[in-house]
Structure 1
Amino acid sequence: MDIQSLFAARSYASTRPALEPAPETTATAKQSFVALAEDFAQTVQAGEETAKAAMVGKADPHALVQALAQSELAVETAVTVRNKVVEAYQEILRMPV
């Protein structure tokens, strides 16, 4: 093995861990995604409960409109995020190898 190959191998070995994601970053991203999904589920569930209460006459119409608007916004946001993820996936598939 010549000296340049040895330096190249050492250089590659020292930079290789830098290319891998840090474990704490991955855990933080996972936790934030889980929190986002839980918040979405709670928003939709609160809207459904308010709608059920309004059907039996136990909820204020203003509260119903507000809960439905929040649910609609949450669903639109989830659909937009999903569309962006699908678009990014399709873009990755189009990349030449």
Structure 2
Amino acid sequence: MDIRSLSAVQNYGAARPATQPDPEGGAGAQLKTAFQDFAATMQHGENTAMAAMTGDADPHALVQALAQTELAVETAITVRNKVVEAYQEILRMPV
């Protein structure tokens, strides 16, 4: 085992500072993709529901689209609740 690879100073110097944006997009790009997927799922559910009301879609497609929409909304609500809990926990921290 090479002792130079364990040097904290070298690792710290090689690390990207947290204040600089990630050039590959990183978490921001993943979050944007997740929001776009959520919006697409909601739009697909609405389109399928409207098509079912006019008789253009079969009931099985409607049930499937509504189940996917319900799952997406429940996931978004869970994420929102976790973010609010984390924010409240930060507010409770002593300064």
TM range (shorter): 0.7 to 0.9
Question: 2:59 aligned with 1:44, yes or no?
Answer: no
Query: CA 1:85–1:25 in 2, change beyond 3 Å: closer, same or farther?
Result: farther
Other-structure match for 1:71: 69
Deviations 1:15-57 (A, max 9, x none): 7x86635532783111000000000000000000000000000
Deviations 1:33-91 (A, max 9, x none): 00000000000000000000000000010000000000000000000000000000000
Other-structure match for 1:86: 84
Instruction: List structure 1 runs of 4+ shifted beyond 6 angstroms.
Output: none
- Secondary structure of the residue aligned to 1:23 is coil
- Secondary structure of the residue aligned to 2:63 is helix
TM-score by length of 1: 0.77
Q: Which stretch of structure 1 is more off in the superposition, 72-81 or 24-33? A: 24-33
Distance between the aligned counterparts of 1:96 and 1:19, measured in 2? 26
Distance between the aligned counterparts of 2:23 and 2:80, measured in 1? 22
Matched positions, count: 84
Structure having the higher helix fraction is: 1
Aligned-residue identity in percent: 62
- Root mean square deviation, CA, Å: 2.3
Question: Where does the alignment leave 5 or more consecutive residues of structure 2 unmatched?
Answer: 1-8
Other-structure match for 2:59: 61
The one-letter amino acid paired with 2:53 is M
